[in-house]
Amino acid sequence: MFQTKPRVALFVTCLVDLYRPTVGFAAIRLLERAGCQVEVPATQTCCGQPAYNSGDRATAKDLARAVVDAFLGYDFVVAPSGSCAGMIAHHYPALFADDPDYRGRAEALAARTQELTAFLSDVMGVEAAAPPYDGVAAYHDSCSGLREMGVRDQPRRLLAGVPGLTVKELAERDVCCGFGGTFCVKYPDISARMVTDKVADIRASGADTLLAGDMGCLLNIAGRLRREGSEVRVRHVAEVLAGMTGDVPPIGEPRIDGAEDPRA
């Protein structure tokens, strides 16, 4: 497909960096396995979405400029998050619409930005089987991944190549879990009801594992499942596809040594 290895920059995301670094390492493994030359720009920072959604355009622009400067020179920018990818791909051009210095650069970066599973499936044509995972998984479609980045079938195609894994569909697989970034802070009662409904849907599916592609959704859902005493395992899809489920416990569960993992 490519004459040379595409040079791909991994946008790690804040939540992966702070709570689940394994997802970043899994993304690198998957990208390298697909034939990419992967780099992780050391100067990257937040994409600016929390500030943008809160109406703080000045801070959002400052953060976005740093992202543009760090990532523009690559063939592709890939994020293990539909939320951050959506911010860069869809909101950066509008954010810099009146900035002659950054408008063209933001548009160029937006055109090169991809969500991880969509990039692997649609751009790199990944079809090879992944390492085995014994379980029955339900997949949650995050709002930004689905509605902004068009991610729906791609993770399911990749998961179909995982030996031992059965994927069951949730009755309301594309309904918001209630996280919504700052939404869960502004409207905690509504958010709590939404994630309670999501957990009920997961339990009704009979799945023993919940997978998704956005850490915000995963942290929110894992928290509610654990508070309700559920044994459903929660993981980022990249961990399963990369065969790294043995490296870290499911999200929200204690480490293997029995201690609480502050990043899980």
For residue 248, is pLDDT > 50? yes
**Mean pLDDT of all residues in 82-95:** 97
| Lookup result for tokens 């998050």 | 81
The reported pLDDT for the residue numbered 257 is 56
**Mean pLDDT of all residues in 177-187:** 82
Q: What number of CA atoms fall less than 13 Å from residue 163's CA on the CB side?
A: 6
pLDDT in tens, 217-242: 999 999 999 999 999 999 999 999 99
Model confidence at 105, pLDDT cuts 50, 70, 90, reads very high
Please, what is the average pLDDT of the chain? Answer: 93
The reported pLDDT for the residue numbered 261 is 47
Of all residues in the chain, what percent carry a pLDDT higher than 90? 87
**Mean pLDDT of all residues in 201-228:** 96
**Mean pLDDT of all residues in 32-38:** 97
**Mean pLDDT of all residues in 146-158:** 96
Please, are residues 110 and 93 in contact by the beta-carbon 8 Å criterion?
yes
pLDDT in tens, 59-80: 999 999 999 999 999 999 999 9
**Residue 75's closest CA among 147, 5, 179?**
5
For residue 39, is pLDDT > 70? yes
**Mean pLDDT of all residues in 124-130:** 87
Plot region of 260 (φ>0 → left; ψ -120 to 50 → alpha; else → beta): beta
**Mean pLDDT of all residues in 240-245:** 96
Model confidence at 118, pLDDT cuts 50, 70, 90, reads very high
pTM of the predicted model as reported, rounded to 2 decimal places: 0.93
For residue 195, is pLDDT > 70? yes
Model confidence at 263, pLDDT cuts 50, 70, 90, reads very low
For residue 255, is pLDDT > 80? no
The reported pLDDT for the residue numbered 187 is 81
Measure Cα distances from 171 to 78, 190, 201, 202 in Å. 30, 20, 7, 9
> What angle (nearest 5°) sits at the alpha carbon of residue 253, between those of residues 248 and 261?
65
Distance, in Å, from the CA atom of 243 to the CA atom of 38, rounded to the nearest integer, reads 19
The reported pLDDT for the residue numbered 262 is 43
For residue 264, is pLDDT > 50? no
The reported pLDDT for the residue numbered 184 is 80
